[in-house]
Amino acid sequence: MGDLVINELLHFCISGTNKLVDNICRLSPDLLVEACQHILTYLQGQARGVDSAEISDRFQRAGVRLDHEALQNTIRFLLITFRSAGKNNLSGDDLVLRLEEGSNKWSKASLQVLHNLWSEHGALVHAQQQVQAMLSIGQLVDIQWKLGMAVSSDTCRSLNSPYVSLLLKIIEPSGQICQRSFEMTIPQFQNFHKQFKEMAAVMETV
Q: Residue ranges per domain, the chain?
A: 1-135, 139-204
pTM exceeding the 0.75 threshold for the entire prediction = no
Instruction: Give the amino acid at 74.
Output: T
Exposed/middle/buried for residue 138 (C-beta within 10 Å: 0-12, 13-18, 19+): middle
Determine the pLDDT at residue 135: 63
**Which residue did the predictor score with more confidence, 147 or 114?**
114
Q: How many residues does the chain have?
A: 206
Exposed/middle/buried for residue 159 (C-beta within 10 Å: 0-12, 13-18, 19+): exposed
Percentage of the chain with pLDDT > 90? 47
Instruction: Please check whether residue 169 is in contact with residue 177, taking contact to mean a CB–CB distance below 8 angstroms.
Output: yes
* Alpha-carbon gap, residue 116 to 93, rounded angstroms: 10
Name the architecture of domain 139-204: Roll (3.10)
Confidence of residue 171 (pLDDT cuts 50, 70, 90): confident
Q: Helix (H, G, I), strand (E, B), or coil: what is residue 138?
A: coil
E runs forming strands in the chain: 139-149, 162-171, 177-185
